[in-house]
Amino acid sequence: MNDEAQVLARADEILPNVIHILPIAARPFFPGQGVPLLMDAEYWAPTIEAVQESESRLIGLLLTEDDEAEKTTPEAMYRVGTVGRVHKVHEVDGKLQVLVECLQRFRVEKFIRTEPPYLARVEYLREYRGKVTEDIKAYALAIINAIKELLPLNPLLQEELRFFLDRFGPENPSLLADFATGLTSATKEEQQEILETVELLPRMEKVLTLLSKELELARTQQKIRNTVEERMEKQQREFFLKEQLKVIQQELGIAKDDRTADIEKFRERLEGLQLTEEALGRVEEELEKLSMLEPSSSEYQASLRSRERFWDIRVPKIDSIFDNSLVPRPSWSPGVPPQHRKLVAATHR
């Protein structure tokens, strides 16, 4: 790469050697991007005001190793970043919304001010604007094809991808490589490595590696989504088929629904028990309530459990009337009908 083949982002503009620095914690930004930034107004207002008052309105965006930009120091900041021009600033609910147009890579030579608002002397890193060679074109087409493969796998990026592919192609290889990096879910350290790789071909090679990883990740996610959807569809089909079968069986008189079966189960348990009219009335009242609930509802299940507990706790006490008295318990033969059992039991009270 020779000097004649390198130009600044804006050839007609002389960029200042000293600029204000804004640390970024999430990920680095690249030339060609329009970046909406959201920051704490109380902490960063002096920095943004100083930038707005400057003639160039330029600010240097530097990635920091720290998780919070407010707690970082110059020692934790990377030395290569992107200079951008501040276009719009709004303050809403204690937050500053700042729109920055990213222009060009730069490297920090020295921090002049080491506390906010940070100030640093910088040098600008020149982008390749020479002839598009066959190698560069091949890498550019490979990047474009990888991006197109991501389209159906990541619906959230489709509009952004189509917008870029309509505007940029192999004739803009540097912007293409930087844009593709921003599409990936690569770590901020991996993206910073791309930002620091100024030479075009090595940068495009690294970007292709990131895109390959992104495609593999997207395919795996798609496979997982398909598996989950198929499993859910299968469960839904089985559920509806079972419900349809129940309805058909009930209409043909082959089977009873859950509610009818539960109520009949309780009535069978009551056969042969000696209950007072009051107790019997209470039982019938509870069964009537049960019959009015939908079996699939949580109220039905709770009511069913409470009646099961009532049976387990209260019914043995009814039977114990025989055990706790001097009257022997009647012994029933299988052929004695329930109504005869009641008559015999009545004589033992």
What are the extents of the domains in the chain?
Answer: 3-126, 134-222, 258-346
**Separation of alpha carbons 172 and 165, rounded Å:** 11
pTM above 0.75, yes or no: no
pLDDT at residue 166 in the model: 74
d(CA 83, CA 105): 6
Interatomic CA distance for residues 65 and 77, integer angstroms: 6
Q: DSSP string covering 169-228, please?
A: -TT-HHHHHHHHHHHS---HHHHHHHHH--SHHHHHHHHHHHHHHHHHHHHHHHHHHHHH
Strand partners, 215: none
Give the position of tokens 């000293």: 18
Q: What is the DSSP letter of 126?
A: P
Q: What is residue 324's predicted lDDT score, i.e. its pLDDT?
A: 40
Query: Which residue's structure tokens are 């006490």?
Result: 317
Give residue 4's pLDDT: 33
> Along the 349 residues of the chain, how does pLDDT read in single tens digits?
333 333 444 544 689 999 999 999 999 999 988 999 999 999 999 999 999 999 999 999 999 999 999 999 999 999 999 999 999 999 999 999 999 999 999 999 999 999 999 999 999 998 887 888 999 999 999 999 998 888 888 777 777 777 777 777 788 899 999 999 988 989 999 999 999 999 999 999 999 999 999 999 989 988 898 899 888 888 888 888 877 877 776 677 655 566 677 777 777 777 767 777 777 777 777 777 777 777 667 776 676 666 665 555 445 444 443 334 333 444 544 554 554 454 444 434 4
CB 20 within 8 A of CB 59: yes
Given this model, what pLDDT does residue 51 score? 96
The pLDDT value given to residue 319: 43
Helix residue ranges per DSSP H, 72-155: 134-150
* CATH class in words for 3-126: mainly beta
Q: What is the DSSP letter of 293?
A: S
Q: Which of 123, 153, 101, 170 is nearest to 19 (CA)?
A: 123
Beta bridge partners of 96: 39, 91
Q: Are 29 and 133 within 8 A, CB to CB? A: no
